[in-house]
Amino acid sequence: MKVVSCIPQTGPCPMKCRYCWYNRYSHGPETPEPDSSLVRMNSGHDSNLEKDLVLKTAKRYRRVFFNTMKNDLDFPGPVVLTINNVETVHGLHPSGVQRKDNLMFVRIRVNPDNMHLVLLDAISWTGHHVPVILTPTVYFDRPRQDELYQYALGTWRPTNAFKTRVLREVQASAGPLVKMIDDYDAQCVFYYGAWEAKKTGSCAVMTEGLQ
Ligand code: SF4
């Protein structure tokens, strides 16, 4: 299944998360024509901002999921929740989230400096059977100078060695529900399907996921 992005809001996302990849430039509304694609709402904004507009726009699509950093998961479809918009402190804990039933997965932003936080946060979420996707920070305005990142295409990107090591360390404690971001479209399709299966009762708890 194809994945397309939809951002009905205009201009940069006002959440101003540190090192936001999308806010390097301003963007206009992006509302693809409905087809059989899976629609990713607000990857590059936040589904809780101008929420009435987001919900009205999402109604056009058959398969849709939402993205937010805010602790409001009241959406008519599954939600990807990024728990640590500030990556230097612990992220949102599952005990503080009322609706966990419609979580597709949580994203945790990871870099060489916050591994100790990420490990504990991942354990707390997989303990509630919520899949976790680790997303290494991509630095475009604060170059790193260590061997864990490499400079390419104007940004400092995490090396594969870093990603492999982080995944191994976090999985060792938090289990196989933790994945590293990889082919993100394929991961979104997989977890959307898992959420649908759980909703319809054809799969009680997902324990493996993508390899
Ligand atoms: S919510 Fe998403 S798009 Fe908005 S600033 Fe944060 S990371 Fe960027």
Looking at residue 183, what is its pLDDT?
A: 94
d(CA 158, CA 140): 12
Q: How many domains does the chain have?
A: 1
- Maximum average pLDDT range among 29-33, 139-143, 200-204: 29-33
CB 94 within 8 A of CB 124: yes
Position in ligand 1 atom list of the atom nearest CA 44: 3
Asked if residue 205 belongs to a domain, the reply is no
- Whether 22 is in the pocket of ligand 1, judged by its Cβ within 6 Å, is yes
Looking at residue 154, what is its pLDDT?
A: 81
- Whether 49 is in the pocket of ligand 1, judged by its Cβ within 6 Å, is no
User: Higher pLDDT residue, 141 or 54?
Assistant: 54
Average pLDDT over residues 17-36: 83
CB-CB neighbours of 167 under 10 Å: 16
Asked if residue 207 belongs to a domain, the reply is no
Looking at residue 192, what is its pLDDT?
A: 97
Average pLDDT over residues 59-77: 96
Q: What pTM, to 2 d.p., does this model score?
A: 0.92
Ligand 1 centroid to Cα of residue 82, in Å, is 9
Pairing, β 79-82 against β 103-110 = parallel
Looking at residue 210, what is its pLDDT?
A: 47
Q: Is the pLDDT of residue 202 over 90?
A: no
d(CA 135, CA 46): 17
Single out the residue of 55, 58, 14, 51 nearest to residue 32, CA to CA.
Answer: 58
Asked if residue 89 belongs to a domain, the reply is yes
Pairing, β 3-6 against β 79-82 = unpaired
Res. 178 pLDDT band, cuts 50 70 90: very high
Asked if residue 206 belongs to a domain, the reply is no
User: Higher pLDDT residue, 201 or 111?
Assistant: 111
Average pLDDT over residues 25-31: 80
DSSP per residue over 85-149, as a string?
SSTTS----GGG-S--TTEEEEEEEE-TT-HHHHHHHHHHHHTTT--EEEEE--BSSS---STTE
CB 45 within 8 A of CB 31: no
Asked if residue 211 belongs to a domain, the reply is no
14 token code pair: 């006002």
Res. 203 pLDDT band, cuts 50 70 90: low
**Taking all residues of the chain, what is their mean pLDDT, rounded to a whole number?**
90
Query: In the Cβ-directed half-sphere of 119, how many Cα atoms lie within 13 Å?
Result: 12
Average pLDDT over residues 1-12: 93
Ligand 1 centroid to Cα of residue 15, in Å, is 6
User: Higher pLDDT residue, 56 or 206?
Assistant: 56
Asked if residue 20 belongs to a domain, the reply is yes
Res. 99 pLDDT band, cuts 50 70 90: confident
Q: Is the pLDDT of residue 204 over 50?
A: no
Mutation choice for ligand 1 from 27, 40, 69, CB with most ligand atoms inside 8 A: 69
d(CA 85, CA 171): 22
Asked if residue 208 belongs to a domain, the reply is no
Ligand 1 centroid to Cα of residue 198, in Å, is 28
Asked if residue 209 belongs to a domain, the reply is no
Per residue in 108-156, pLDDT (tens digit) is 999 998 999 999 999 999 999 999 999 998 888 766 778 899 988 888 8
- Which residues are 135's β-sheet partners? 109
Domain holding 181, by residue range, is 3-200
Res. 87 pLDDT band, cuts 50 70 90: confident
- Which residues are 150's β-sheet partners? 157
Looking at residue 207, what is its pLDDT?
A: 42
